[in-house]
Amino acid sequence: MKICNKCDAGNEVMHYRKICKACYRQEVLDYKKTVKGVVSVIYHNQINNTRKRGMEDVSYTQSELQDFLVDETNFMELYTAWVSSDYLKDLKPSVDRDDDYKSYSLDNIQVMTQEEHFAKSGLDRVEGFNLKASTPVYGIAQDGSVTEYFSIHEAARQTNSHYTNIWNVCMGNRKSAAKHKWRFKYEQ
């Protein structure tokens, strides 16, 4: 059995550099904590997300993204804070699109922590800026007036109802909720 060049353990060597699986995994984890590693993960996630969403390809290379992040943004401040925090997930630098309906381009991205990114995406949905995952509905009051809501959750907030009650009316399982009849906007 070959000995790992890195840890001198008698583990089976699996890599052309003659290191064991455990040492190789540790090298990958250590790389992902470097500036280049963080940018690499961000870039490859952008490519995968763009493909999943059927959007235009990312308009820059990984090295262009790294140069932009390091030179033009507060990325290094966030990165340093993340390292100082002993790599807390919430403080890891992240890249968000300013306009979620456009693909990734250097003029459509902003740098923030993962915690800020998560909070922003939730707030964008609540405030109606990002409607990709929302189900718009019509509320028909007892007097016959119709109000359009950009999401079931927004309708529930505005009428002091619970979103499941509105959903159940739309699905035909209830007659009304919050003194309204409800219909999906895109109902067939």
Over residues 99-141, the pLDDT tens digits come to 888 999 999 999 999 999 888 877 777 676 666 677 889 999 9
Q: Are residues 170 and 105 in the same domain?
A: no
pLDDT at position 134, please?
A: 77
Same domain, 110 and 170: no
| pLDDT of 180 over the 90 cut | yes
pLDDT score of 69 more than 70: yes
Number of domain units in the chain: 2
- Residue 67: inside a domain, yes or no? yes
Contacts of 127 (CB under 8 A, 6+ apart): none
Q: What kind and span of H or E run contains 44? A: helix 35-53
Mean predicted confidence (pLDDT) in 163-183: 94
What are the tens digits of pLDDT across the range 151-169? 898 899 999 999 999 999 9
Shared domain for 121 and 141, answered yes or no, is no
Whether 55 is in a domain gets the answer yes
- Domain membership of residue 7 (yes or no) is no
**Does the structure show a pLDDT above 80 at 14?**
no
DSSP lists the bridge partners of residue 148 as: 138
Same domain, 71 and 121: yes
Range of the domain at 95: 50-126
- Confidence class of residue 58 from pLDDT cuts 50, 70 and 90? very high
Q: How far apart are CA 99 and CA 97, in angstroms?
A: 5
Task: Confirm if 174 and 162 have CB atoms less than 8 A apart.
Answer: no
More confident residue, 101 or 145: 145
